[in-house]
A and B are shown apart, each in its own frame.
Chain A
Amino acid sequence: MPFYRNLSIRQKQIAWAWAFLAVPVLFYVIIRFYPTGNAIMISFQNWNLLGDRTWAGLENYQKLVADPVFWKVFKNTFLYLIIGTPISLVLSFIIAYQLDKVRFMHGTLRMLYFLPFMTSAVAMAWVWRWFYQPVPTGLFNNLLAQVGISQIEFLNSTSYALPSVLAPAVWAGLGFQIIIFMAGLRAIPVSYYEAARIDGVGWWTVLTQITIPLLRPTIVFIVVFSSIGFLRIFDHVYNMTTNNPGGPLNSTKPLVLMIYGTAFDDFDMGYAAAQTVVLFLILLIVSLIQLRLLRSE
């Protein structure tokens, strides 16, 4: 190996660094970048999974823009985001803030809040689906009927179905966000609080002037993370509406479910890929905007 012997120590170090890096780089290229590029290419083609791929140009995107179901689904996806993210952010912060002060059974309480996050989304969605059933099977409607209030058609309604599906999704994500918030709260130096106490500042000022500003990186992380989660919502919706996926009348259908249906029920891979590219762009734009807005000056 005369070539290797002639290298300087620094060059040898670089060569070795690349040799070790090659494994993850190759992995990423094959597992992530190649399929992504392929999906973008398919979005400009017609393909039914079995036959040949034929070029379609912008046909799939034109179809998308003209498809009323797509716009309905687009709106639903943003409703999941706009309702879900703030609610889960506020709830998880309040719980984490209070939990941080509790000493009694702290570990048990934290575990209880984290439990839903570890539960399978499928099992959880089915349990909630049964909660929402009309009398005589549904828990909520049975309670309503007992106090003499008329039933609510939670899932069989174009206006209540989306919030009903969203509720367990918010609940399931809370545990994770609470843990992150608690870690963030613990990371704030105690000296700030001590200084505030010496100055005799009230709790509200402490919260708004010390805690929240210093939690900014945590908040950014949670907002970005949960936004992506709600934009990609699928398993809760699919399992709570399996009889009529995304129904009734597409009122709960998110983009990912539409992609799934187009690809694996109708085998229209090109159209499904075009929807995927749109989803990718939405995720990218939303994440960039949030990072920009929440970045500290």
Chain B
Amino acid sequence: MMKSMRMTALAGLASSAVLCAGAANAVEIEYWQYFYDARVDAMEQLIENFEEANPDITVKMTTFPYADYRTKVAAAIPAGEGPDVVQLFYGWLNDYIEAGLIQPLPEEAFPADQIDEAFFPMVQAMKRDGQYYALPTAVRSLALFYNERLFEEAGIDGPPETLDELVEDAKKLTKKDGAGNITQVGLTTGMTAQDHHWFREVLIRQFGGEPYLDDYRTVNYNNEAGLKALEFYTDLEKTHEVTSSSFMDEPQAAFKAGRAGMHIDGSFRVGSLADMRGLKWGVAELPVGPDGTASNYSSYWVNAITSKAEGEEYDAAVKFMEYITSDEAMQIWLEVVGELPAKPSVGLTEENANDPVYGPFIRGLENAHTTIFANESAQRQVLMDMVARTDIQGMPLEESLAIAAEEEQKAPPLPLRRSSHPRPSP
């Protein structure tokens, strides 16, 4: 009896010694992202799994409201108080590299040539001089949502595959009252929503153009391709009368209310549509262009190691980066947040690529482009005004397109600390 008690005491001592040793070696790293319920849930799961596999590392997650996030990160890192691993919007990368806020990912753990192959091609935008600076866990893309009930009612058997079919189907889906007012649109439109991405990266390319040149520094749509794309877009309302940009205030509201046959939107819309009772909807890939060109727009948030991480913290940060860009992490992110895996090896598995909801988004990633914005809201405003000038003021398309191209070229870049790099003029 005595002996066994002594044994327990010894065992207790031994285990507390182990604990002490563990605490001495423990590294704590900090991770920052903006606050969004599902993203925080997913990251908590990832951190739990990571800490289980690496008991000597703890990860502390801090979140901020989306509106303050950009300024918080920029102010904290140079002061040495920020995170070791940080989540950034892909469009901010240049600013962060120039301001010296993040460091390149180590070549041993993240060899550039392997990443080129393992990730969807648009992720290469995160590479500078052959070195990756940041990697996404998940990505987003566009697809065509369609209302299955309205399709059935109009006698259409499947979603449109080409732009011509899109127009034909939209005509069948449009309803008007006795006075000719549209009461149901075939396709929602509105540059205020996702259409400015659809126009830039999809329509212009499908009509044979290339929206920007010189690493997105030079606007390149004031030409025949741009004009054809704008003509197609404005004809939807003016000639075919299958849509109205001000219909029901917002495109997604019209689709949710069952007053729109088709609606182009991002994968992030899936969650809010899933909650709509009585709405039967499906998802299809964006229609291809006249010559069969498929294109898509993708945006994503990336994770990067900040310049604050050094020594032990740096090693721990690299390990954490490896885990949150792994296949396992991507699958968890898809299931919890509903954002698409950034690697074909996860995205294009039989199950994911054929998923009736996520499949079309994931397949769209193969030919997706990511616009590098100088100032996204200013550039969106330019396209909004371009359509408004033709619509409200009756300006000829060529003239409005030329003004838009000129204005977008001048869009003021968003400043971040001292690093401002004005767009070179064409």
Give residues in A with beta carbon < 8 Å to B. Answer: 48-52, 129-130, 133-137, 141, 145, 148, 150-151, 153, 155-158, 243-244, 247-249, 265-268
Q: Which one, B5-13, B174-182, B273-281, is touching chain A?
A: B174-182
Given A52-B418, A133-B249, A150-B179, verify A158-B244 contact (CB < 8 Å).
no
- For window 172-203 of B, CB contacts with A under 8 Å fall at 177, 179, 181-183, 190, 192
Q: Which residue in B181, B381, B412 is a CB contact (below 8 Å) of A151? A: B181
Residue of A whose beta carbon sits closest to that of B412? A266
The distance in angstroms between the C-alpha atoms of A145 and B179, with both chains bound, is: 7
B215-253 contact mask (Cβ, 8 Å, vs A): 1 or 0: 000000000000000000000000000001111111000
Contacts of A141 in B (CB 8 A): 181
Task: Tell me whether B74 is interfacial, beta carbon within 8 Å.
Answer: yes
| B181 and A145 contacting across the interface, CB-CB below 8 Å | yes
Nearest Cβ in chain A — how far from B148, in angstroms?
21
Nearest Cβ in chain A — how far from B389, in angstroms?
7
Nearest Cβ in chain B — how far from A210, in angstroms?
50
Q: Which residue in B177, B190, B248 is a CB contact (below 8 Å) of A145? A: B177
If A133-B249, A156-B246, A157-B392 are given as contacts, then 13 extra A-B residue pairs at C-beta distance below 8 Å, sorted by A number, are A48-B415, A50-B71, A50-B417, A51-B418, A134-B244, A134-B246, A136-B248, A141-B181, A150-B179, A243-B192, A244-B384, A249-B385, A268-B412
Residue of B whose beta carbon sits closest to that of A246? B381
B377-406 contact mask (Cβ, 8 Å, vs A): 1 or 0: 110010011001101110000000000000
Chain B: how many interface residues by the 8 Å CB criterion?
36
Residue of B whose beta carbon sits closest to that of A50? B417
Contacts of A150 in B (CB 8 A): 179
Task: Tell me whether B375 is interfacial, beta carbon within 8 Å.
Answer: yes
A-B contact pairs, 7 of them (CB 8 A): A52-B418, A145-B177, A156-B391, A157-B392, A244-B388, A247-B384, A265-B378
Contacts of B418 in A (CB 8 A): 51-52
Contacts of B345 in A (CB 8 A): none
B148-160 contact mask (Cβ, 8 Å, vs A): 1 or 0: 0000000000000
Residue of A whose beta carbon sits closest to that of B393? A158
Task: Tell me whether B259 is interfacial, beta carbon within 8 Å.
Answer: yes
Give residues in B with beta carbon < 8 Å to A. Answer: 71, 74-75, 177, 179, 181-183, 190, 192, 244-250, 259, 375, 377-378, 381, 384-385, 388-389, 391-393, 412, 414-418, 420
Identify which of B249, B375, B393, B416 gathers the most chain A CB atoms within 10 Å of its CB: B249
| A135 and B245 contacting across the interface, CB-CB below 8 Å | no
Contacts of A151 in B (CB 8 A): 179, 181
The distance in angstroms between the C-alpha atoms of A158 and B394, with both chains bound, is: 12
Q: Is the interface of A mostly helix, strand, loop or mixed?
A: loop
Identify which of A48, A141, A248, A265 gathers the most chain B CB atoms within 10 Å of its CB: A248
Residue of B whose beta carbon sits closest to that of A154? B246
The distance in angstroms between the C-alpha atoms of A284 and B414, with both chains bound, is: 33
Contacts of A248 in B (CB 8 A): 385, 388, 392
Residue of B whose beta carbon sits closest to that of A48? B415
The distance in angstroms between the C-alpha atoms of A108 and B193, with both chains bound, is: 45
The distance in angstroms between the C-alpha atoms of A137 and B378, with both chains bound, is: 30
| A50 and B181 contacting across the interface, CB-CB below 8 Å | no
Nearest Cβ in chain B — how far from A141, in angstroms?
8
Nearest Cβ in chain A — how far from B272, in angstroms?
17
| B378 and A51 contacting across the interface, CB-CB below 8 Å | no
Nearest Cβ in chain B — how far from A69, in angstroms?
11
Q: Which residue in A50, A156, A249 is a CB contact (below 8 Å) of B415? A: A50
Given A51-B415, A153-B246, A267-B414, verify A135-B182 contact (CB < 8 Å).
yes
| A243 and B250 contacting across the interface, CB-CB below 8 Å | yes
| B181 and A134 contacting across the interface, CB-CB below 8 Å | yes
| A158 and B249 contacting across the interface, CB-CB below 8 Å | no
Residue of B whose beta carbon sits closest to that of A268? B412
Identify which of A49, A136, A267, A268 gathers the most chain B CB atoms within 10 Å of its CB: A136
Given A50-B71, A50-B74, A51-B415, verify A135-B177 contact (CB < 8 Å).
yes
Contacts of B378 in A (CB 8 A): 265-266
Q: Which residue in B182, B246, B250 is a CB contact (below 8 Å) of A155? A: B246
Residue of A whose beta carbon sits closest to that of B250? A243
Nearest Cβ in chain B — how far from A53, in angstroms?
11
| B177 and A50 contacting across the interface, CB-CB below 8 Å | no
Nearest Cβ in chain A — how far from B100, in angstroms?
13
Contacts of B392 in A (CB 8 A): 156-158, 248-249
The distance in angstroms between the C-alpha atoms of A225 and B246, with both chains bound, is: 35
Residue of B whose beta carbon sits closest to that of A141? B181
Nearest Cβ in chain A — how far from B257, in angstroms?
8
| B177 and A249 contacting across the interface, CB-CB below 8 Å | no
The distance in angstroms between the C-alpha atoms of A49 and B388, with both chains bound, is: 32
Given A50-B75, A156-B245, A248-B392, verify A135-B181 contact (CB < 8 Å).
yes
| B249 and A137 contacting across the interface, CB-CB below 8 Å | yes
Identify which of B179, B192, B391 gathers the most chain A CB atoms within 10 Å of its CB: B179
The distance in angstroms between the C-alpha atoms of A41 and B50, with both chains bound, is: 51
| B246 and A267 contacting across the interface, CB-CB below 8 Å | no
Contacts of A158 in B (CB 8 A): 392-393
Contacts of B182 in A (CB 8 A): 134-135
Given A48-B420, A249-B392, verify A133-B246 contact (CB < 8 Å).
yes
Contacts of B393 in A (CB 8 A): 158, 249
The distance in angstroms between the C-alpha atoms of A48 and B259, with both chains bound, is: 44
Contacts of A266 in B (CB 8 A): 375, 378, 412, 414
Residue of B whose beta carbon sits closest to that of A52? B418
The distance in angstroms between the C-alpha atoms of A158 and B388, with both chains bound, is: 9
The distance in angstroms between the C-alpha atoms of A158 and B389, with both chains bound, is: 10
The distance in angstroms between the C-alpha atoms of A100 and B249, with both chains bound, is: 41
| B183 and A136 contacting across the interface, CB-CB below 8 Å | yes
The distance in angstroms between the C-alpha atoms of A86 and B93, with both chains bound, is: 52
Contacts of A136 in B (CB 8 A): 181, 183, 248, 259
| B248 and A133 contacting across the interface, CB-CB below 8 Å | yes
Residue of B whose beta carbon sits closest to that of A267? B415
